[in-house]
Amino acid sequence: MLETFNFRVIVEYLPFYWKCFLATLWLSGGSLLGALVVGVIACAMRLSESRIISRVAGVYIESIRSTPLLAQLYFFYFGLPSLGIRMPEEATGILALTLNSGAYMAEIIRAGVQSIAYGQIEAAMSSGLSYLQRMRYIVLPQALGVSIPPMLGQAIVLVKDSALLSLISIVELTRAGQILTSDRFMPAEGFLTTAVFYLIIYYILKAFSHWSQKRLIFRGA
Partner 1 sequence: MWGFYFEQLVQSIPFFLKGLWMTVAVSGLSLVAGTVLGFVWGVIRAGRGKVLKRIIGAWVDLIRGTPFLVQVFIFFFILPEAGIQLEAFPASVIALTNLSACFICEIVAGGIQSIPSGQREAATASGLSSYHQLRYIILPQAMRTILPPLVGQYVLLIKDSSVVSAIGVTDVTRVGWLTVQRIPEGIMVFGLVGILYFLICYPLIQLSNSLEKRMTVVTTKL
Task: Report in angstroms how near the CB of residue 128 gets to partner 1 at its nearest.
Answer: 35
Task: Report in angstroms how near the CB of residue 190 gets to partner 1 at its nearest.
Answer: 8
Between the alpha carbon of residue 116 and those of residues 119, 121, 169, the distances in Å are 8, 8, 44
Q: Which is nearer to partner 1, 72 or 154 (CB)?
A: 72
Task: Report in angstroms how near the CB of residue 63 gets to partner 1 at its nearest.
Answer: 7
Distance between CA atoms of 111 and 119, rounded to whole angstroms? 17
Task: Report in angstroms how near the CB of residue 121 gets to partner 1 at its nearest.
Answer: 23
Q: Which residues bind partner 1 (CB under 8 A)?
A: 1, 62-63, 65-72, 74-83, 156, 160-164, 166-167, 174, 177-178, 181, 187-188, 191-192, 194-195, 198-199, 202-203, 206
Q: Which is nearer to partner 1, 53 or 157 (CB)?
A: 157
Task: Report in angstroms how near the CB of residue 217 gets to partner 1 at its nearest.
Answer: 18
Closest CA to 100 of 25, 165, 54, 39: 39
Q: Which is nearer to partner 1, 38 or 96 (CB)?
A: 96
Helix spans in the chain (H)? 7-46, 51-65, 69-82, 89-114, 118-126, 131-133, 140-161, 173-184, 187-215
Q: Which is nearer to partner 1, 62 or 122 (CB)?
A: 62
Distance between CA atoms of 88 and 16, rounded to whole angstroms? 21
Task: Report in angstroms how near the CB of residue 130 gets to partner 1 at its nearest.
Answer: 34
- Collect all residues with Cβ–Cβ distance below 8 Å to 205 and sequence separation of at least 6: 152, 155, 156, 159
Q: Which is nearer to partner 1, 138 or 197 (CB)?
A: 197
Task: Report in angstroms how near the CB of residue 142 gets to partner 1 at its nearest.
Answer: 21
Closest CA to 95 of 116, 110, 80, 112: 80
Q: Which is nearer to partner 1, 41 or 163 (CB)?
A: 163
Taking the mean position of all CA atoms in its chain, how far away is CA 221? 32
Distance between CA atoms of 143 and 146, rounded to whole angstroms? 5
Cβ atoms within 10 Å of 65's Cβ, excluding its own: 12
Q: Which is nearer to partner 1, 95 or 164 (CB)?
A: 164
Distance between CA atoms of 88 and 204, rounded to whole angstroms? 30
